[in-house]
Structure 1
Amino acid sequence: MKQDTIHSHIKENSFKFSRKLETLYQKDYLNRSLKIMRIAIVLGLLLYAAFGLLDTYFAPDIRNKIWFIRYAIVCPMLILVFTLSYFSFFENYMQSILVILSLTAGFGILAMLYLITEVETGMSYYAGLILVLMWAYTFLRMRFLYASFVGWSLVIAYQIIAIYAEGVLDSPVFIKEYIRNNFFFISANIIGMATSYQIELSTRIDFLQRQLILEKQDEIIEKHNILKERNTTIENELHMARNIQSQLIPTQSPWPQVNFIYRPMDAVGGDLFDFLRFREKSKIGIFLSDVSGHGVPAALITSMVKTAILQSKRFTNDPAGLLIFLNELLLHQTAGHFITAFYGIYDTETKEFIFSNAGHNPPFLIQQNKIEYLHVNKAPPLAVYENDFLEKHSSIYKNNYLNLEKINKLLFYTDGLVEARKETEVKRFFYEEIEKVLSELSSLSGKEFIDELFKRLLHFKGNDNFMDDICIINLDIDSNENA
């Protein structure tokens, strides 16, 4: 059912529903009316039976006839309808049955008036008709048109009984009483109609508003299910992307001198590292890059970097040449993202280290208790400027040479390590602590060193909820093992 249709019904205060909407309303009306209707029937039964005590006082001569009407016809009828309300077929005939019940109660009193020959006594039973009207219009849950039919039927029937049976027009005194009673009786009927109209109008508006809420709930549930389905799809795709990306990143080091830890912030990350092998067994190639941003976009660019590295075989012995090649290939392909990168080649025999840096964090040189950065004039990140522009401004990627004979360790990392914030002091970063930590751990080697460094990082931060990818690679220079 369309919401604009429901809105139009509410706006128009309409009793006229479409067939489908009316069917729903009647079913809803029945379900919400049954309890109140049964209470009204029980109340009507008690009052109708209790007023039998007055019959002895007002009409002792015809008490038995009145009691027959009261206890043999009307009260059993009330009990019968109360019982029928528990059967399923009652739903289809509820209003018609309530009309018959109300008319039975009203005509029962009119029949008593007919039996009473004394006008003054008959007037005493007149109040019972007012009660029946109130009962039918408000308590019995009859709908407006049905209740109005009952009300005016009783008004007309009362005129016939009063005029032809009681002869109220035969006496000026009774005429005044008749007019007064009619004034109150008709007024009560009109008030009952207005009340019944407002009750039904309110129930219809309430029904429409609840239908509107249900439809909105259905829309919300449907949208929630769509979002849930999309989220599941995204999660599956992220899982697939993570599996694919995991194929791009080494799962273990090809050399005993090299150990690493990699922890992406999201399911997929923007950090990439790779180990490049050479014909010369003494050479160790370490590539490390970090794409700006996080998540899927960064991961896609990471895949592009990996693909570019695979295409750069002729530059594996030339770190600067490799970075120049990557910059040319990735420029204008990264949607505004830039990539910091570092590529170095270490020769275990000569202890020579040749490297080039594209805006990446400089590695740490660790010599016993002495910690320092591998300072060079680093060039801009990849995918920012054209190579011609860099050449023109003397910022093109260049090879740097360093002998590591006196160095114990070389630590490579992405900015997720040094920019990790302390959970309880968000203005404190790990870079404030790292030199001290590295100095304390300098005597350790291999996997023990890298694992302990990560533990210190977790201890500093207070949890493992990192705001950036973490990649740490340690190269032991003083290892006695050969590549």
Structure 2
Amino acid sequence: MSFLHSNIFGESCGYCQRIDLLNMINDPFILIDFENGKILFMNRKALDMYQYSEEECLTKFVKDISHNSARLIQENLDLAKKQKDGYVFTANHIKKDGSIFKVEISSRYMSLHGKFVFAAVVRNLTSNGKMREEIQLAGKVQRRLLPRDTDNHLFRTFSIYQPANYISGDLYDYVFQEESQKLYGIVIDVMGHGLAAAFQTNLLKYLFLRVVDKKKSVKDKLAWMNKEVMPFFTGGEFAGVFLFEFDFTCNTLTYSAGGINYFISIKNQKAQITKAPGIFLGIKEGETFDQDTYSFQPGEGFLFLTDGLFERFKQPLEQELNFESLLEMCEKIVTSGECRDDATGLGIMLH
């Protein structure tokens, strides 16, 4: 029996009946008698969280569900009374089985049928904390799966990787095949920053590793990746991808763009932006892509960037920029605290 059907407020009126709608909200909600701390109402979410029945909750006081001292409980009640726009605070609460958990309470002091009450929306911070820990762990795993910077007789790689939050919708990867003297690489920028974007990003990384050994042109490899990823982009999402291949037997860079439509080359202390056409992956299953070829010489450098980095460069680029200067600019962007997007880049310096 809830307070609506008890004698606390007398006969139930239409106004009180509308409070039954509080059972429809997704957060636990509690009404407490401000004068004596007696619990007057818990919605179903609150009953489930504290493990009480409707009848049991009406025999409880705020001290029965709070693990804080009586003095701190009263201080929070008094502060809620003074704050007309509501008062938010954290506390330690206790369930029927004795387990203690941390909560955030959004409270308001109000009058209901002439009785002063303390209305509280309660959020369990313990479960949020566990979710945060899991997301942080996922971010650490995601980072550890990235390839480490490499330095060999043909090239040296430099990576930039800074998620906007714990996990990223951006990734890079590369594979060098000594036998064929080819370096295959990819930069990925999936729309969004959450768990779904991270899953889609890792899926594209997996498809890249599968397509490397396929005897296809770069543009056909990108088309194959697009086809394979389509079932996982059903909610209007899309991904920017730049796929490239360095062939050191003939000194050519072959590339195909899918939503990331640029790269930066550095030659003789001069930086140049090269643009390439191509729509995002995940939009149209049968999409075809273009490819182009760039002839390089030892000593040149290349930067393949996602929007989080590229869009923060002042354009046009200064002509007198060397490879190290551009890398320093990237580092300043990701450490400035002003970047609100995932920021990823792969730099390649040719020996």
TM range (shorter): 0.5 to 0.7
Change (3 A) 1:356 1:404: same
- Confirm or deny that 1:356 pairs with 2:243: no
Residue 344 of structure 2 corresponds to which residue in structure 1?
Answer: 471
2-structure distance, mates of 1:232, 1:351: 51
- Confirm or deny that 1:371 pairs with 2:263: no
**TM-score, length of structure 1 as denominator length:** 0.47
- 2:280 counterpart SS class: coil
**2:172–2:345 CA contact under 8 A, matched in 1:** no
Q: 2:304 aligned to 387, 412, 416, which one?
A: 412
Residue 454 of structure 1 corresponds to which residue in structure 2?
Answer: 330
Q: CA deviation at 1:339?
A: 1.2
Alignment length, in residue pairs?
Answer: 256
2-structure distance, mates of 1:235, 1:476: 38
**2:191–2:238 CA contact under 8 A, matched in 1:** yes
Residue 384 of structure 1 corresponds to which residue in structure 2?
Answer: 283
Q: CA deviation at 1:265?
A: 0.6
Change (3 A) 1:23 1:229: closer
Q: 1:236 aligned to 103, 124, 133, which one?
A: 133
Q: 2:171 aligned to 252, 257, 272, which one?
A: 272
1-structure distance, mates of 2:217, 2:169: 24
**2:333–2:339 CA contact under 8 A, matched in 1:** no
Residue 291 of structure 2 corresponds to which residue in structure 1?
Answer: 399
Change (3 A) 1:289 1:346: same
Deviations 1:272-292 (A, max 9, x none): 211112143632221111111
Residue 346 of structure 1 corresponds to which residue in structure 2?
Answer: 246
One-letter amino acid of the counterpart of residue 405, structure 1: Q
Aligned ranges 1:6-85 → 2 under 5 Å: 8-11=7-10
Change (3 A) 1:22 1:401: closer
Change (3 A) 1:435 1:385: same
- 1:10 counterpart SS class: coil
- 2:275 counterpart SS class: coil
Identity percentage over the alignment?
Answer: 21
Change (3 A) 1:317 1:11: same
1-structure distance, mates of 2:59, 2:179: 87
- 2:187 counterpart SS class: strand
- 1:381 counterpart SS class: coil
**2:270–2:320 CA contact under 8 A, matched in 1:** no
- 2:256 counterpart SS class: strand
**TM-score, length of structure 2 as denominator length:** 0.63
- 1:363 counterpart SS class: strand
Deviations 1:117-143 (A, max 9, x none): xxxxxxxxxxxxxxxxxxxxxxxxxxx
Deviations 1:215-252 (A, max 9, x none): x44xx3xx32x2x1221121122023213322432233
- Confirm or deny that 1:309 pairs with 2:208: yes
1-structure distance, mates of 2:138, 2:314: 35
**2:270–2:321 CA contact under 8 A, matched in 1:** no
One-letter amino acid of the counterpart of residue 267, structure 2: Q
Q: 1:435 aligned to 278, 295, 317, which one?
A: 317
2-structure distance, mates of 1:342, 1:300: 18
- Confirm or deny that 1:209 pairs with 2:115: yes
Aligned ranges 1:309-328 → 2 under 5 Å: 309-315=208-214, 318-328=217-227
- 1:337 counterpart SS class: coil
Query: Which structure has the larger Rg?
Result: 1
Aligned ranges 1:54-203 → 2 under 5 Å: none
1-structure distance, mates of 2:189, 2:141: 18
Aligned ranges 1:219-230 → 2 under 5 Å: 220=121, 223-224=122-123, 226=124, 228-230=125-127
Q: Which range moved further: 302-311 or 246-255? A: 246-255
Change (3 A) 1:294 1:434: farther
- 1:331 counterpart SS class: helix
Deviations 1:432-472 (A, max 9, x none): 34612xx4441xx5xx546512244368xxx3142111112
2-structure distance, mates of 1:468, 1:354: 28
Unaligned runs of 5+ in 1: 25-204, 391-395, 420-429
**1:271–1:469 CA contact under 8 A, matched in 2:** yes
**1:273–1:286 CA contact under 8 A, matched in 2:** yes
2-structure distance, mates of 1:348, 1:285: 11
Deviations 1:139-165 (A, max 9, x none): xxxxxxxxxxxxxxxxxxxxxxxxxxx
**1:359–1:379 CA contact under 8 A, matched in 2:** yes
